[in-house]
Structure formats: C-alpha cells, structure tokens
Structure 1
Amino acid sequence: MKLKTVILFLIFGSLLQVVSFSQKFVKVKKKDFKIEDEGFKEAWKHVKKAGRLYKMNKKGAYAEALDDYLTALNYNEDNAALNYLTGICYLKTAEPRKALKYLDNAYFNYSGVVDDILYWLAYAYQYNYKFEEAIENYEDYQESLTPKEYKKLKYKIEKRIEECENGIKLMKNPVRCFVDNLGDGVNTKAPEYSPVFFFKDSVLYFTSRRENTTGGKKDPATRLYYEDVYMSEYSDGKWGEAVQMEYPINTKHNDAVTDISPEGRELCIYRGYKGNGDLYNSQFKGDYWKKPGKMSRIDKNKYRESSVSVTRDSMVLYFISDRKGGQGRQDIWVSYKTQDGRKWQTPQNLGPVVNTKYDEETVEISADGRTLYFSSKGHNSMGGYDVFRTHRNNDGTWTEPENIGYPINTPGDDVFFMLAPDEHFGYYASDREGGYGDKDIYEVVFLGPEKPVLTSKENPNDLIAYFAEPVSETDIEKPVNIKVIQLSTVKGIVTDALSGEPVKATLELVDNATGEVVKVVESYASTGAYSVPLPPGKDYALTAGAPDYFFHSENFVIADTSTHEVIRKDIQLQPMGVGAKIVLNNVFFDTGKATLRPESFPELNRLASLLIKYKNIRVEISGHTDSQGSAAFNQRLSQRRAQSVVDYLLSRGVNLAQLVAVGYGESMPRADNSTAAGRQLNRRVEAKILEK
C-alpha cells in the first residue's frame, strides 16, 4: 500500500454535533428550584457547575453537565428548566433516546419554559422512532413561529419532517438482516468507531476515546479523551478484549486508524491536536509497527479532507472535502490519475446526483470500483447520517443513491460502513440503542437472497483507503479514460500442522506464465493470518515457509471473472522432525520422462537452501506415479524422477550424505486412480525427513 496524504481534521469531530439547530440555555431560577432547605445548597452547586459546562457547547462538557443535572434532579425532579437542560444534554451525548422523558417533563410542567421546547421534544420523539408524534410536534412548533422566525427556520423544520416521513417508509420495508454489537471485547461506554478489518475472523483495528488514553488527557476541542488506536483478535467465536496499541502508533494526542493495506503490512493513521492533523503511514516490520511517517498533502490550501478511498488499481481517488465548488458544506470529490500514472488531475465534484446541500461523510469504493458507499444527512435519511450506496454507470455517471435501509440505519449517526467480500456481512459504527455507551461497532449479517439492497461486491479493508503516490492538483485539458482492474483476494491462516498454533511465515506468489514474483507477504505472528490482492485470469504458484518448518507449495488458478473473488488458502506447515514430509507440488516432468522442466527449479532451489542450512538432516526423495501403464515401467520412471531431483539438489551444493532417492511407482497412491483428478494427485515427488 502506498499512501497519499490528505489534510484531515479529526474524523469523529464532524460527527460530534448531534444536530445543527442551536439549542438555548435557559437559566434555572433559584426561587423556582428551591422547594426545601434540606439538600438545596448541595443541589444548587450542581446546577451552577452544570450551567458553566453546558455553555461550553462541547460534547464532553455536555456529558459532564449531565451528571450534575441528574444529581440536581434528585432534589427537584419537577423543575421545567432543569428537565429541559437535562434533555438537551442527553441529545448531545451518548444516550439521546433518554432525552424524551426529560423534555416531556419540561413541557408538561411549563410549556413556556423556552420557546424552542416543541422543536427539541419533536427531535426526541424522532430519535425514539416515534415519527408520527415527532411530525405533530414539529408542525406545532412551526405554527408557533412569527413570520420572520418561520422564514429563517422553515427549511430546517421541513427537513426534520421529511426525515420522519422517510423513517416511516423505511421501517415498513426492513432489510432482512441481523445487526449485532461486536461485544464488550471491542465496545465500551466510550465512543468506538472507524473499524478497519485486516480480514474476517482475524484482526480488527479501531479508534476509541477511553479514560486510559495515552497521556491521560482530554482534547480541549471536545473535552473528550484523546483518540487512541486499539486492536482485537477474533477467536472462539467472538472478538477478544481489545489491546491498546503502544508507541509509536499511539501518542499523547489524537491517533485514529483510517486504513490498512490489503496485505496487512501498512497502517494509515490520523494524528492531530485541537481538531487539526494529518495522515501518517506505519510499516509493519518483523513483529512491530515502525514509527509512522508523515505523508505529503493532497491540497496545500488546507481545505478539510477526510474519509478517503482509492480504487484497487490506484487510478481513481474519492474523498470528502469542504472545498469550494461543491453542492453543500461537505461533498464527495473524485480525482483521476493521468495515463502515465504519475499525477492526479484536478479533483471534480461527484455532482448533484450523489452530493446534497447537506453533509456527506465516510466514503468507500468497492473492490470492483463501481459501487460507492457513503454516509449522508441528505437524500432520504431518517435522521443524522444514514448509509447510502450508488453505482457508477458505464458513461461515468452515478445512479440515484439508495438508502441501505432499516434496521441498519437509524435516526442517529450511522457511519464507516463496509461490506465483506462474500456479501454476507457488513460492519459499521452507530450510536443505535442497545450499545455499551456512545458509538459502538456493529456487524450486519444478511439473511438470504431476499435482501433488497447491498448486493454489490466490496473489499472490507478499504474503509478509508490506501494510496499510491503523493497527490497534487494538476490541470489536465482532456479527461483520462480509466480502466478499473478487478482484483481478487487470496487469504487464509498459516498454522503448525501438529499443534495448530499460528505461524509467522513468508508467502511468495509467482505468476507461472512469466516466472515473475508478483507478491511477497508475511502472515501475522499472533494469528497466522495473511491476505493478498491478485489480478484474476492467471495461474499462480504459492509458497509458504518459516524457520524450522518444511515449506509448503501449491498451484492455483484465479478465473478471469468480472466479480471480486475471495479464495481461501489455509496452510499447515510441517515442523522439521523425523517422519515429516511434504509434496513438492511445483516440480514438473514431461509425460513419461524423468527430465526436470525449468519451472521446477525455484521449488528445488528452496529445498536445496533448506538442506544446506540444516546439514544434519537426511531426506528421502521419493517418486510416485499413477496406475497408467505397467507397474514395472512406473517403478523405473518413479526411481528416475527421484534421482533427477537428487542430482539437481547435489548440483546446488547439497551434501550427498543428506539424500536418498527411492521410487515407489504406483504402490502408494494418495487418491483413486479411476479419475483424472485422482491420478494427478498420485503423480508426485515427496521429501521426507529420515534423520535429524
């Protein structure tokens, strides 16, 4: 993964403000609050303290104020102003659905407590899926306005009513799915968001704002704890307890994960302070992440760019920006690479079909480069950010965005959506009801072919995507036609064949047609997991090796297909003990002959290097055939083939005392000789350790 830089404000910061309509501060009058002497003095201290925090207009401050307001309510639970302020604090923090009780109490005890009480009461109803009641209160609020106020607030109120109407429609046609919280191994009372999966059932990186944040301090811009990056591993059917990553990934300021490369070897993180920051790139070397390096900027004019995604061929870049020329404050923009692959053209707005006058956020392009997932407050959102998808037509235009539906989307914020390659699972962050606190990370499990949406293919690793080269704005007179290359994914887990424990192995992928090494990756030491993106329509050789293990080799073909294929290749490595043996899958002979073909040499070179390294090992090289032809002929052929392998190993410097050639002919079949597939398995050369 080659990452290009963007100027990135705190991603989560754009999601902190629950609504854009400005709430008012209403003063709690002492004469109205006091009902008796006992307990008044202490309760009044909490009211005053909460008021100071409330006026800061920061999410963390609202959470602190809420604790004090709730304490004060224990003294006087009927005070209208106090109930109003408590309700607003709930709307601004982790549990907005609880606001309804307090705003309803405020209105019941004194309907004139503040002139916008009906608006906020309506919003609380909306958050609780009570859309009919919400519409009624929005309309009542609208009627209470003066002509001047109505002109100013008309579009905001109509937008809220439209969201409620959207919610009614979406709930009548729910998506067939389960939405499951990833559990307390990942989620806490603090915000968790920006999930980045190396791949399913392996490793999850995410961002959280917890009390144990590195440095232990709060961001002055939000009064929330600074962001840190965490990691969780999937084991025994659940996500394990998240581990806080250490320096150099986490620092005393904001550190948020934004992407991981398909091979899992590069991590992109946001690093910032007081709302400003940049993207950094860290390389995984050995068993640790190297110190992140700052990347060059996408735009020197310091517009806000966040949530970026690039196609797998690194030719098309999508990103969110508030730059001039958009449809609203935050839009989706696109930039195309020039044909020589060196520069990026001037970014273009994706246009009014996709972008709205409201905010768009958290964009991701699918693996085939044709489906874009994003969150938006516009279109037919039921409130807050909803997740949408749009398809790119052959002429470069985009289809009308489609809301991916309820129960995935809620009246709150639903962001950072990604769809697994097999389309059965999706992952995203949401402040939906039933979580552990603030935003949590959820898994969506789709139920069968009846599902009305979410049928496109997508790569789960590209939430905020990786890049190829530094981006600069360049004036290009003519548009460039971009051919999007569909990549497939080969992934799996490397384990010890005896213990089942994960193994850190080096995997090499070779194009058999050219002999070119196309990818070299390492599996994770902690999980054995690996993932490799590869072009389809090719014949590949895969080799995996690790110290003190026999190497593993095999050949496979990725079909030339228009869909994104995921190919599972779990590998068991044999420890180098007496009796251990492997099949040399990449050793080839012409039919009926014992002459080695040149494409066998890389495999035998690996074996030679292994035997030279471990000079005390004695190995039997055995030849095997199928049952075609006479047994005597097959015996002689297998012996000659085994001897050919031994002779080649000797030519590469292996000691003669380490080698013995044995031909078994057709006497030790691995499969039924009555089928072509079985006969192919039986024609083989094996290496077996005799002494160590």
Structure 2
Amino acid sequence: MNIKNALFLFFFVISFNSFCQIEIFSEQISLDSIINSTSDEPNVVLSPDGQTLYFTRKNHPHNAGGSKDQGDIWMSEKNENGAWTQAYNLKEINDERSNHIIGFLDSGRTLLLSNDNKLAVTYFNNGQWTTPKPFNIPYLNSKSKELTASVSADGKHILFGMESFGNYGVEDLYLSRMKPDGSWTSPKNLGAAINTQNQEITPFLAADNKTLFFSSNGHEGEGSFDIFMSTRLDDTWQKWSKPVNLGPKINTKGRERSFTFLLDDEYAYLSSTQNSDGYGDIKKVKIAPEISPIEIIEDTVQVIDIVEEEKIIAISGIVKDKKTNETIIGAEVYVTTEPLNKEFKTLTNSQGAFNLTVDEGNNYIVKVKAFRYLSAEAVVTDASLLNNEQLTFSLEPIIEGNTVTLDHVLFEQGKAVLIQGSEKELDLVVEMMKYNPDVSIFLSGHTDNQGKASLNIALSEDRVQTVMKYLVAQGVNKRRISGKGFGGTKPIASNASAETRKLNRRVEFTVHKIKK
C-alpha cells in the first residue's frame, strides 16, 4: 500500500471517532399540490444531480391500477427558476402491482425499485426508462407488507427496512453491499443499537457512508414514527452511536419517514402526515449538514469496505397452536448447525413467523419452545432449505385435560425397554416440566389387543414406570408425575391390521394439574 493510500485509510478509521451533525433551520415546508395529493405519498428519492424528485403515490386514480393500486412511482423536475414542476406518473415503469422507488445505482441512469417487495432495475436509454427487470440480492426475503430501502450515494450499499431473518422485532434495518465482482452480499442486520422490538423503516445513508437516518417508532419520539440519526463507529456495520431524534422542527405528532438530502442542497425532503392534504405529503426542511462525502480510492476499497461474507443459509417458518391452529407470538426458536454445533436464536413475530440466517452446515436442528407448550424439534437438510421450504411447527398446548401422544417414544417388542432415540422426545417433556413448574402430568401406557389382556396391562404398566423413571432421573420431581397402564382397553385405531395396530401401542401424558 502506498503512502497516500495508507494515510487515507488512517484518516478513514480516525474519522469514526467524530459524530457527524446536521443542523435544522426550519420547520416542515409543504410542497403543496404541485407535488402532493389527497393520496398517500410515503417516500421520496432525489436524483443524484438534484434536478428530479421521485416519490411513491398510493391509491391514486391515475395510478396504473387506479385508486386500488398500492403504489406507482411519480416524478417532478425543477424548472429554470429552481422550482418543482407539476408531478406526473412515470408510466413506463409502473404496473398494477405495488411499485416503490428505492434509488439510483449510478449517476442517474440506473434506477432500483420494488414491485410487490421484489427488487427490479430499470435503465434510462434513448430518452426513456426500460421495462424493469428482476434484480438479485442473495437471501433477500422480506415478510413485511411494504419493503422500504435506499441506495447509498456511491451506489455500493443498499439499506433495507424489513421484517426478515434475525429480526430484533418487527421491521429492522439491514445492509447489502456490492462485492468486487459486482454481485451483492446477503442482507445483514445492523444490530441492536439501531433496531428495536418495534419498527425501523426507510433508512437513508448520507454521502459519507457512515451517517444513517431512519424512521422508527421504537426509539423515544414525538409521534408515531420519527426521524433519527446515528453514526457508524467502525467498519463492521454493527457498532453505531445511540440514535438521536432530529427534534420537533422535523418530527411532529404525525408520521415522519423517508428523510433524504444531497450535500450541496439547502433542503432535505421527507414524508409527513402532519397537516397533510391526505395521508402522507412530501415536505422539505432547511438544513446545514456537517458531512463530507467519502473519498473512494480504487485499490483500497476492498480493505476499507469489504468484509468477507460468510456462507449462510436462510431458515423461515411459522409456529402454531396444534389445537386452535392460531399462531404463537414470541415463541423461542433455536437453530443448531452441524457439525460445528453453533447455535442461533430468534423469536416469532406478531404473525407467529420466524426468519433467521445461520452459518452453512450439513444439517440444522431447529427447536421451538414457548410457555405453556410442549417444545418441538426437527432436523432439516441443506437441500430443503435451499428450496426455500417454510417450516411449520404445531405445538401441543399445556392446558389442563389436554392429552399428548409421544409418537417417538418406542419400546422393544414385548418389553419395557426404550428403543434408542426415544430419549429425544422424553427430553422435550423434561424441558416442558422445567419450563412450566406448576404443571403435573398423568402418564398412560397402551398396547394393541394382541395376546393375553392381563399381560398387556402389565406390559403397559411397566412401560409407564420406565418413562416415569427416566423423567425423574432427568430432574423432574416424582410428585409431579402419576400414571397407569391400560393395556389394549383404549384403542385409538383399528386392531384389524398391523398398520393400524401400531397406532394403539403408545405412551401419552395428560396435563393432570396446573396450580392456580
């Protein structure tokens, strides 16, 4: 590395110690009906030269799908006096899907957008925009109703606001970066300093590539969503300064989102519902940012900005109550990768779904547990994950009177000896008992009707005792367990064939008592 590059890298690192500021000189200024309508204008993007303003407009009669259309991209241009002209629909890139503007990947001729939460790119060629084509980000999987995103000024970073893998709450902020070969890294969560259990949306990265603006209802604010600012403290993109509310000149009792500006412009733009003509209107505020654009030196880009990407696998699923089929919110999901035995964890969201990225392995043990439920476990293979399979876990509720069949607790034929592997399901019962200390259970053993009835009763009783001894040996108080063998007196299937008889050979437990 030459001296010039070494000095640049040194000052790049040192600059993380200073907190970039932005001064707000005015309250919100409406762009009136030139830009706004009685429909919702939820997000805004400036062209790199500042001469064109792009925004999304929802449910407008002039949208491609009419007033039911959930989003078209509109635009306005500056005239010779620097004033915005009447906005119009950018029809060549819109369709009846939900179309949202994201940003530019270059100086203004390559536009990134989303169609129903799927990324697409369009190019300005021969005076018009081309038909949007799919744009690939590995493992981009948004569960949000609306994906929000932006592109950095250098076109090498895309930030997302979405509900996806490894969320801290609902929508979180993520980053994808361009690699030296022009492909993109999979989205990486920006961490707990930025993201909360609530929503973080509409991220915007200033031209220094370290000052982040975003909208949140999870940090303390003035209204439903406020604009916050944070500074990146190192090159991991995981360490950030404590987010700062931009204050009452920008943030109101309404919803503020989609804050954006150019360094050489005296105004920043945002969407706000405060005193709007409809839902959200495009507003501007007068600013003075103390931010310097990052200097790009080609032979140091990889040292400064590229961190080697780990090979990861995306896992998603949903957790339900087996009895009611309702989703379970806040269930704990643990994924262990084999053979390294590295554990990852998350919680199910408000829809009972989970999304998680884990290191690549040979197999993945997925375990789900929740209060007042019997945990469930599954082993998933690499191939099924790569096919974007969504896992479904139906948990047995621990409610008084509910009977749970232990399908995988098996015995040697005619004996009360557990077959190897049965311990896994019994361990889930142990965990449930420890997780719910006020629960007692009643074990019942059953056989088919083959053989002498009295011997079947005795065999089923012995099997109950085997299970009881195992649970006690694992630390469950024996006073919380009772049981009985019923032989073949309580079949749940026909005994006419071998295939159905095996269903009658079972061990069950019934939630016998829950202390009030």
- TM-score scaled by length of structure 2: 0.48
More helix by proportion, 1 or 2?
1
More strand by proportion, 1 or 2?
2
- TM-score scaled by length of structure 1: 0.36
Of structures 1 and 2, the larger Rg is shown by 1
